[in-house]
Amino acid sequence: MRDGADCVSRRPWAASALAALTLGGCSDPAWRNPQAASTSTAPAPEVAAVLDADATAGKRAVHHDHVLGQPLTALPAWGAAVLGRNLREAFPRMGACIGNIDGVKARYLSGAGGTRVAGWGWDQDRQTPVGRVILVDKDFRIVGAGESGARRLDVPRALPAIGSDYTGWEAITPLNAGALDAYGVKADGQTLCKLGHLEL
């Protein structure tokens, strides 16, 4: 698996950071390309790390995500306040950012279950990581939330215009199956930007 820098070096015409997101001919993992992410079967980098750790420890491999026997952790307080609301009613404006929903990081088996997903996001207007993330279902109902701050050295390595190592985010949802869309919440608390789509 080649990283974005190698991909750009093989294609001088793709020197811009944004172009690195759409290099269909490169063998970059699909999580770097939001358009391709929904059709990828490759695990996200965080998921792959869990699988590698389990393999090293001699544990039985989990094919796509990490299964936990504990209850789903609590949503952040601000996320619990908007849970169940319609997307457009809770956040009336749309803006732009770049990022992705990489995949499932963990599934929770205790109680009613639930899922933790991971990705990354960058607010191009403010030149900062997207601070908060919401998850919505196919009916545009808010079904999950999370926050950024996870270290993702791979993102600025692939996209040098991104000036932070901490663009990673994680979000939780009580859903165990179905379609999810991830949106970043911009700094004004009213504007969203689309990050990506995932089928659980």
- Contact between residue 114 and residue 101 where contact means Cβ atoms under 8 Å apart: no
The string of pLDDT tens digits covering residues 7-43 is 333 333 233 333 333 323 333 333 344 343 333 334 4
Tokens of 23: 């290099």
167: how many CB neighbours lie within 10 A of its CB? 27
DSSP the chain: ---HHHHHHT-GGG-STTGGGG-TTS---GGG-HHHHTT--SPPHHHHHHHHHHHHTTPPPPSSSEEESSPPPPPPHHHHHHTTSBHHHH--EE---EEEEEEEEEEE-STT-EEEEEEEEEETTTTEE--EEEEE-TTSBEEEEEEEEE--THHHHH-TT---S--EEEEEES--SSEEEEEEEPTTSSEEEEEEEEE-
Higher pLDDT, 44 or 141: 141
Domain ranges, residue 141 = 4-199
Percent of the chain with pLDDT over 70: 65
Percent of the chain with pLDDT over 90: 54
Mean residue pLDDT of the chain comes to 75
Provide the domain count of the chain.
Answer: 1
Q: Is the pLDDT of residue 64 over 80?
A: no
The string of pLDDT tens digits covering residues 88-142 is 999 999 999 999 999 998 888 767 789 999 999 999 999 999 999 999 999 999 9
Paired residues of 191 in beta bridges: 93
2: how many CB neighbours lie within 10 A of its CB? 12
Q: In whole angstroms, what is the distance from residue 184 CA to residue 146 CA?
A: 10
* pLDDT tier for residue 56 given thresholds of 50, 70 and 90: low
Nearest to 191 by CA among 142, 141, 123: 123
The mean-pLDDT minimum among 21-30, 38-47, 78-87, 160-169 falls in 21-30
Paired residues of 172 in beta bridges: 116, 145
* pLDDT tier for residue 53 given thresholds of 50, 70 and 90: low
